[in-house]
Structure 1
Amino acid sequence: MVREDRSPRQHLPGLPIVCVVSLLLAATVAGPAVAEPSLFVSGASKDANTILAGESVNVTATVHNTGSSGGAMGIEYVVNGTTRATERVVVDADSSVERTRALEFDAPGTYRIKVQSPGKSAGRVKVKPALVETTRTDSTTRQLKIRGGTVPTNEPYELNVSEQTNRSFAVQSWTVNASRQAFTQDVTEYTDPSAADLAVPSGDDASVFGVVTVGSSDGVEPSSMQFALDRSTLQSAGIAPQDVRVYHRINGSWKAAETTVATEQPDRIVYEADTAGTTAYAIGKIEPSFSVTRTSVVSEQATDGYRVSVRGTVENAGSAPGTYDAQMRVDDEVVNQTSVTVPADTEQTVTLSTVVTTPGTFQISFNDANAGEIKVTESQLQTDENGGAEPKTEPTGTEPAVQTEPAGDGDGGLGPLPATVMGLSTVLVIGGLLGALLLFGVVIVLLRRGGSRNDSGFEL
């Protein structure tokens, strides 16, 4: 009996053949494997967040290739949605490259920068007409650099300075006149006035809390500034907040500028002041220092009585100009007065007069300085038939409190003689001078006669 072999082994040899044929056919259709590049923008950045108008910002794009072969792609530098520049970048397989492009901005504003293909943001850049930077600071000094761009405007630039609350005096804002050209200014703030490289007023007539110096380029001038002072500093000096001024340094003198209180804070007072016209400023209170250095008294007949004039020389030894109120006093009664402006470290001469209509002896003063004594008699008050004064005797005087000097009239002549000269009567002084001149003439005559009888060859 023959048994039928139903084992599946009869079909197994055919299966591997079919699979192999299928693989061979697939490989023949697909062909050999091909390497391809894969490029994209992996990053974007910029080298500045704030620039001046007319300056450039450098934008850097990073292009990466993750493919197995090198390739190239185009990228775009886009500002506020507008393409500013394009570039084709070649990158090797499995590597990256960086490309940097400078983008210039002429107008102030805020701009968004992207590198596209696909897009990557580089961030925002602020373009300003002017910038202020702190370049150096210590316990007594702070240096600021102010830079202005090329902007077609005539408006001033107002620049905020980083607030320094730990300083008794600090600049908070600086405003300069606009310029169509780029400029640079160096501003130095001194909390300790003695650290400044210039003569700063001091003493009983000056309380200076801070100094500001400016190095200006051609055609650029500061116009105003805001600054803060600690209340405790003012209280220690005994100065009211409204008495603080900014003083311009002009030809060695300090002249007060218009200064106002901008805001009052619990611990600080913020001021605003005009700063045009110079490059050095002192902040505080500077007063003139007046003194009367010389006086003289002059008297003469007048149609309505006897005119007495007092002349005083007023010296201002302070560092700031001031107005001096001058008074003429007769027996401590004010009979005439005027005001005169005296610049710093100079002197002015003031003349005041009055008409005496009654006889007597009068003490003449220039403010608190005793200028001398004048005696007016009945005869000096008499008038002639034409109505004019008829002098009978010369005036007399006594030693004044300060040195006297002759007075001059308005026409450049000698004018009337003073009643006193160094405390002596004018009549006695003139008589002494005439006697001395007469004696000198006699000596000369004798010498001439003696010289004619010798052979010395010397003549007078």
Structure 2
Amino acid sequence: MVREERSPEQHLPSLLSVCVVALLLAATAADPAAAAPRLFVSGASKEVNTILAGESVNVTATVKNTGSSEGAMSVEYVANGTTKATERVAVDSGSSAKRTRALTFNTPGTYQITVKSPKRSAGTVQVKKATAMTIRQDATSRQTEVRGGAVPTTKPYEVEMPSAMNRTFTVQSWTVNASQRSFTQNVTEYTDPADADIAVPDNDDASVFGVVTVGSSAGVQPSSMQFVLNRSNLQSAGIDASAVRVYHRVNGSWQAAETSVVEERTDQVVYEADTAGASAYAIGKIEPAFSITRTSVVSEQAPEGQRVVVEATVANDGSIEGPYDAQMRVDDAVVNQTSVTVPADTEQTVTLSTVVTTPGTFQIKFNDVNAGEIQVTESQVQTDGNGGAEPETEPTGTEPAIQTEPAVDGDGGLGPLPATVMGISTMLVIGGLLGALLLFGVVIALLRRGGSRNDSGFEL
């Protein structure tokens, strides 16, 4: 066999390879860490930016291993510098792994979320008492879902409603009283009251610009709301901004809630109203509709003269109760007055009285309605202080012609006499009866005198 001889230059590559391998082996033997796993947090993220108090946000950490063998490390989930959770993550060599952890927040506020080590930011999360989101909207209505968290407080929840453009009426903020537990409410606004699922007044005594209905959760009640109303609505109806109220139904009748103007803008007015105790509201101006359906006048003897009583039935055909101001007028002079509250769709009797101390004929009115006419004789106003006639005493003229008294409440005796009987003045009827009795007495006296000379045996 012939052995081929090589030159030193031909053996050089092989020698170099052997040297490199030897150096690598030596390096590995000198630094064992080169063969160990190398793990670190390479990224962090979260699912949502806003949650309710008592809810959780999912935070994801990405752990990477650039080492040559499998390894594990502890990952910290931190909120505003406070560690909220820790977990051990194992990762194969040359690969990465993702882990998601739910972090719960019970206190409203803004939290910076980080995952380490090293520190990687997942962003911020807003923890709120309540949130609102529009779930349906058309030209005349908008439905907003209001959600509240389990906030450890007894104070009302207040939430800003989503902004809305080109609407004549919009709820701006909504406040409820909750029992420290999560809830969901649907608040629906109607710019056209006819579209609402409740009947609202639509007569001449009502101007309704909007309606709000609420689907309430158990234990959660509306407290107040702020709403915006366009000035054009007010101008079209001829209503001053300060006259607008929020109304709700109470026992079948609409009742005004406390409402105030909180801001006046160029084209809008912002109001705040108490919404406690109801789930449907009408916004605008609703007034009672009063009418007088019956009147009567009676008179009776009084110690000071002749008491005259006017009685009237006041009807309220409107959709809301209201105060009615009643006046008694004698010859167009106001002599007595009162104010009564008349509920919606009901009638109420109002009674006023006065005492006449001078004789004459008087026209009695209840407000502007002519109730009747009375005649007072001189003998009816000349008394001895106990209601008895005193015909020989002349009036001094120092007493006022009309003395005001409260409404008659009954003081015994025969009671008040009607001003007319069958269309004839009561005073004329009484005078006629007195005259007839006097004539009868004269006839009896004459008969008795003639009978003393009568021989017939009959005696009167």
Give the TM bin, normalised by the shorter chain. Answer: 0.7 to 0.9
Where does residue 56 of structure 1 map in the other structure? Answer: 56
Q: Which moved more, 1:369-378 or 1:185-194?
A: 369-378
- The answer as to whether partners of 2:184 and 2:216 remain within 8 angstroms in 1 is yes
Q: Which moved more, 1:180-189 or 1:134-143?
A: 180-189
- The answer as to whether partners of 1:153 and 1:178 remain within 8 angstroms in 2 is no
Residue-by-residue CA offset, 1:331-388 (whole Å, 9 max, x unaligned): 33322211112222222211111112233332222112222222223343344x6742
Q: CA deviation at 1:146?
A: 2.3
Where does residue 7 of structure 1 map in the other structure? Answer: none
Where does residue 157 of structure 2 map in the other structure? Answer: 157
Change (3 A) 1:87 1:380: same
Q: CA deviation at 1:416?
A: 2.6
Where does residue 341 of structure 1 map in the other structure? Answer: 341
Change (3 A) 1:187 1:301: same
Q: CA deviation at 1:170?
A: 0.6
Q: Secondary structure at the match of 1:15?
A: coil
Q: TM-score w.r.t. structure 2 length?
A: 0.78
Q: TM-score w.r.t. structure 1 length?
A: 0.78
- The answer as to whether partners of 2:352 and 2:408 remain within 8 angstroms in 1 is no
- The answer as to whether partners of 1:107 and 1:127 remain within 8 angstroms in 2 is yes
Change (3 A) 1:104 1:88: same
Q: Secondary structure at the match of 1:14?
A: coil
CA distance, structure 1, for counterparts of residue 132 and residue 287 of structure 2: 33
Change (3 A) 1:298 1:57: same
Change (3 A) 1:350 1:422: farther
Where does residue 369 of structure 2 map in the other structure? Answer: 369
Change (3 A) 1:60 1:358: same
Where does residue 189 of structure 1 map in the other structure? Answer: 189
Q: Which moved more, 1:127-136 or 1:264-273?
A: 127-136
Q: Which moved more, 1:171-180 or 1:108-117?
A: 171-180
Residue of 12, 17, 21 corresponding to 1:23: 17
Q: Which moved more, 1:353-362 or 1:236-245?
A: 353-362
Q: Secondary structure at the match of 1:234?
A: helix
Q: Is 2:387 the counterpart of 1:388?
A: yes
Residue-by-residue CA offset, 1:74-115 (whole Å, 9 max, x unaligned): 322121222222222234455543321111111111111112
- The answer as to whether partners of 1:229 and 1:270 remain within 8 angstroms in 2 is yes
CA distance, structure 2, for counterparts of residue 386 and residue 240 of structure 1: 55
- The answer as to whether partners of 2:304 and 2:355 remain within 8 angstroms in 1 is yes
CA distance, structure 1, for counterparts of residue 427 and residue 216 of structure 2: 63
Q: Is 2:269 the counterpart of 1:269?
A: yes
Q: Kindly provide the amino acid, as one letter, of the partner of residue 338 in structure 2.
A: T
Where does residue 170 of structure 2 map in the other structure? Answer: 170
CA distance, structure 2, for counterparts of residue 286 and residue 391 of structure 1: 56
Where does residue 242 of structure 2 map in the other structure? Answer: 242
Residue of 7, 23, 29 corresponding to 1:13: 7
- The answer as to whether partners of 2:54 and 2:105 remain within 8 angstroms in 1 is yes
- The answer as to whether partners of 1:41 and 1:63 remain within 8 angstroms in 2 is yes
Alignment of 1:209-228 (within 5 A): 209-228=209-228
Change (3 A) 1:223 1:413: farther
Q: Which moved more, 1:71-80 or 1:125-134?
A: 71-80
Mind listing any 5+ residue stretches in structure 2 that lack a counterpart? 29-33, 392-406, 430-460
RMSD of equivalent CA atoms: 3.4
Q: Is 2:133 the counterpart of 1:133?
A: yes
- The answer as to whether partners of 1:305 and 1:389 remain within 8 angstroms in 2 is no
Q: Secondary structure at the match of 2:418?
A: coil
Residue-by-residue CA offset, 1:98-157 (whole Å, 9 max, x unaligned): 321111111111111112133321110111222222222221112222222222323333
Q: Which moved more, 1:64-73 or 1:298-307?
A: 64-73
Q: Secondary structure at the match of 1:16?
A: coil
Change (3 A) 1:228 1:421: farther
- The answer as to whether partners of 2:178 and 2:219 remain within 8 angstroms in 1 is no
CA distance, structure 1, for counterparts of residue 413 and residue 250 of structure 2: 36
Q: CA deviation at 1:12?
A: 7.0
CA distance, structure 1, for counterparts of residue 422 and residue 214 of structure 2: 51
- The answer as to whether partners of 2:309 and 2:408 remain within 8 angstroms in 1 is no
- The answer as to whether partners of 2:300 and 2:415 remain within 8 angstroms in 1 is no
CA distance, structure 2, for counterparts of residue 412 and residue 248 of structure 1: 45
Q: Is 2:115 the counterpart of 1:115?
A: yes
Count of matched residue pairs: 406
Q: Secondary structure at the match of 1:27?
A: helix
Alignment of 1:419-438 (within 5 A): 419-420=419-420, 423=423
Residue-by-residue CA offset, 1:236-279 (whole Å, 9 max, x unaligned): 11111122122232222222223222122121111222222322
Q: Secondary structure at the match of 2:232?
A: helix
Q: Kindly provide the amino acid, as one letter, of the partner of residue 285 in structure 2.
A: K
Change (3 A) 1:361 1:230: same
CA distance, structure 1, for counterparts of residue 85 and residue 161 of structure 2: 36
Change (3 A) 1:426 1:218: farther
Alignment of 1:256-295 (within 5 A): 256-295=256-295
- The answer as to whether partners of 1:112 and 1:124 remain within 8 angstroms in 2 is yes
Change (3 A) 1:408 1:260: closer
CA distance, structure 1, for counterparts of residue 108 and residue 413 of structure 2: 68
Q: CA deviation at 1:326?
A: 0.6
Mind listing any 5+ residue stretches in structure 1 that lack a counterpart? 1-10, 393-406, 430-460
- The answer as to whether partners of 1:296 and 1:420 remain within 8 angstroms in 2 is no
Where does residue 438 of structure 2 map in the other structure? Answer: none
Where does residue 355 of structure 1 map in the other structure? Answer: 355
Q: Is 2:313 the counterpart of 1:313?
A: yes
Change (3 A) 1:163 1:421: farther
Q: Which moved more, 1:60-69 or 1:260-269?
A: 60-69
Where does residue 88 of structure 1 map in the other structure? Answer: 88
Q: Which moved more, 1:173-182 or 1:127-136?
A: 173-182
